[in-house]
Amino acid sequence: MPQNMHRSLQKSDEEIGKDRWQSYSDYLNRILCEAHDSYREKLERKIMLPLEVRFVQPQTYALYRDMMILDGASPNQIKPVHVISNDKLKRFFFDLQQK
């Protein structure tokens, strides 16, 4: 049974209702399966779970950038977050998911 769940946290300028999240997940998984045979095979063999798409609240990434600057980061050195690699990032982004 797969242990790892993968989520794609997306930003949007408007609220995306939770009732629409599954259609985004289905679309992205279909595209990934078409583009990568190994992804499709892992899903079919239940080695991994399908990717789940979630949306963060508007301005989440701007708030993250401001938070990093307040912590002493140089604005020119702040990179977009691609992977949630620690508990601090996990709490921040998962707490700011749209409801």
Domain positions in the chain: 7-95
**Above 90 in pLDDT, residue 85?**
no
- pLDDT given for residue 14 in this prediction: 85
Residue pLDDT, tens place only, 51-72? 999 999 888 999 999 999 999 9
What is the CB neighbour count within 10 angstroms for residue 56? 21
- 93 contacts 9 by C-beta, under 8 angstroms: yes
- pLDDT given for residue 83 in this prediction: 85
| Whole-prediction pTM | 0.74
Helix (H) or strand (E) holding 52: strand 52-55
Amino acid at 12: S
Rounded CA-CA distance 64/81 in Å is 9
Residue pLDDT, tens place only, 3-50? 567 888 898 888 888 899 999 999 999 999 999 999 999 999 999 999
